[in-house]
Amino acid sequence: MTQSSPSIFIDNGNCEIQPHVSLADMTTFRVGGAAEWFIAPHNLEELQASYAWANEQNLPITFLGAGSNLLISDQGLPGLVISTRYLRQRTFEPDTCQVTAYAGESLPKLAWQAAKRGWSGLEWAVGIPGTVGGALVMNAGAHGGCTADVLAEVHVLERNGTIQVLKPEHMAFQYRSSILQQSPQPVLQGVFQLSANQSADQVKATTQSHLDHRLSTQPYDWPSCGSVFRNPLPRTAGWLIEQSGLKGYSLGGAQVAQKHANFILNSDNATATDIFNLIHYVQQKVEENWSLLLKPEVKMLGEFPQIT
């Protein structure tokens, strides 16, 4: 990567691709190096143009939403990073109770907007600090609900620039997983099928209850990525970590949260490597105690140290 490269303008000069942009402030962990090239499109046309440019240059492409559930290495990312932070648009269809939302739309805000209309189906999403695009890729969920339960269709961008519509049966949804993880395609927008079988007061009360529960049981006073590990049901990852005596354990500037052991905090100017090493240490200790390897839910991007 080079810091002296000038910006590149594409799409008749309307679209600026910047070199060497720090990604640390764009993740909820507040760690990570720089993108070799970076753009935050303001509309789908700019997204398509930047995606086409990267493909023409044979560059790797990374899509970045809210930066939650994500750990970017200290070395940064090669190729083009496309942030969906400005792709925030949604429409509500009263006749069908369908919601269409762009990839960068905030999931908690969408949940509240649906609740205020008395539309149920997204109450579980109110405390998830992510975007629609991330939720579709990860099959985000909480409180017994998940993205797969309410998805009507997903619009993704093909490598040749065309838009493909995927139905739920095409998504291969599993616990915190979808086909978009195995075969990455840029998510443009999702359409969700909600229902109006409750009063607005009921839906708002349930939504508020879910939010209150998350705020009371999960740490939000320090930067984190949310839950680090997938729950190896019937046990939870947090319980296994706590029973291994790791609550409050620190490594470098990273710490296992006291409030919820499945959270790792950037408690003292941690590096991505600190967090990565603590994730591995927790896995090691839980495996020693329970003969079970915790699988990370957090997505790790870039180069990290070799674990021996």
Number of Cβ atoms within 10 Å of the Cβ of 94:
9
The residue with tokens 């993205």 is 147
More confident residue, 29 or 197: 29
106 alpha carbon, distance to own chain's centre: 11
Q: Where in the chain is the domain with CATH 3.30.43.10?
A: 8-83
243-268 pLDDT, tens digit per residue, is 999 999 999 999 999 999 999 999 99
215-228 pLDDT, tens digit per residue, is 999 998 899 999 99
Proportion of the chain above pLDDT 70, given as a percent: 98
Give me the phi and psi of 66, to 5 degrees please.
Answer: -75, -10
Amino acid in position 29: F
CATH of domain 90-217: 3.30.465.10
Number of Cβ atoms within 10 Å of the Cβ of 26:
21
Report, as residue numbers or ranges, the catalytic residues: 176, 227, 297
CATH of domain 237-301: 3.90.78.10
pLDDT at residue 182 above 90?
no
Give the contacts of 295 (CB within 8 A, at least 6 positions apart): 229, 230, 232
Helix (H, G, I), strand (E, B) or coil at 17: strand
Please give the full DSSP string across 198-265, using - where no structure is assigned. S-HHHHHHHHHHHHHHHHHHS--SS---S--B---TTS-HHHHHHHTT-TT-EETTEEE-SS-TT-EE
pLDDT at residue 1 above 80?
no
Angle between helices 200-217 and 107-116 (to 10 degrees): 150
Reported as a pLDDT band with limits 50, 70 and 90, residue 11 is: confident
126-170 pLDDT, tens digit per residue, is 999 899 999 999 999 999 999 999 999 999 999 888 999 999 999
Distance linking the first and last C-alpha atoms of the chain:
28
> Which pTM does this prediction carry?
0.91
80-106 pLDDT, tens digit per residue, is 999 999 999 999 999 999 999 999 999
Q: Where in the chain is the domain with CATH 3.30.465.10?
A: 90-217
CATH of domain 8-83: 3.30.43.10
pLDDT at residue 293 above 60?
yes
295/161 Cα distance (integer angstroms): 34
35, 21 contact by CB (below 8 A): yes
